[in-house]
Amino acid sequence: MYAMQYEIKLPNDYDMDIIRNRVKMNGFKTDNFPGLSLKAYLIKEKDHNNITNIYAPFYLWNDSEGMNKFIFDGYYDNIISSFGWRKISIGIKYEAKIEKNIKKSRYLVEEYIDIQPVSSIKKLDIKSSFECYENTLSEVIIYNPEKWKVVKFSFVENLPNKLNEHVSYYEILHISN
């Protein structure tokens, strides 16, 4: 499995209802997309936790064929025509637990860690490096060996009371799977 995300930073005074309506009108179009395990339509709104407005869809692909179809067969052109050229971040699945009730998730909590150089990564316990949240409905852990970063995405109904400095969150507008 492969994860993919692009981030679209929007002006601080951008009306995020435009994105909400875009997702309401089009989010269903990726339901049952070939090779797609899930897509979460995510936003951050400028507030005391977020310094700017962001639209940042997250995809989890079963294989590279589905991802390639989305990027190169015209579907990604909708993003280019609406928001301009975007860099796409790619990650490799370390672990994914996708539950049937994932669509009850209202937020996605994102936590990053760096993998520091070690003499052996055989016994590296990646999972224990992350927070566990009480109301997690599903979770995905990905890594990027080019950057030696690991990211845990926790799909939750309610935001945790406290988030550390390595954690951010998104509001989920729609989940396709």
- For 93-142, the pLDDT digits (tens) are 999 999 999 999 999 999 998 888 888 888 788 887 887 888 899 999 99
Q: Looking at residue 172, what is its pLDDT?
A: 97
Please determine, for residue 1, whether its predicted confidence score (pLDDT) is greater than 90: yes
Reported confidence tier of residue 48, pLDDT bands at 50, 70, 90: low
List for the chain the helix, strand, coil content (%; round to 5): 20, 40, 40
b/e burial code for range 111-135 (CB count within 10 A of at least 16 → b)? bebebeeeeeeeeeeeeeebeebee
Nearest-angstrom CA–CA distance, 129 and 40: 24
> What is the pTM assigned to this prediction?
0.90
Q: Does domain 2-176 have CATH number 3.40.50.2300?
A: no
Which range, of 72-76, 132-136, 162-166, averages the lowest pLDDT? 162-166
Residue owning tokens 């962001």: 54
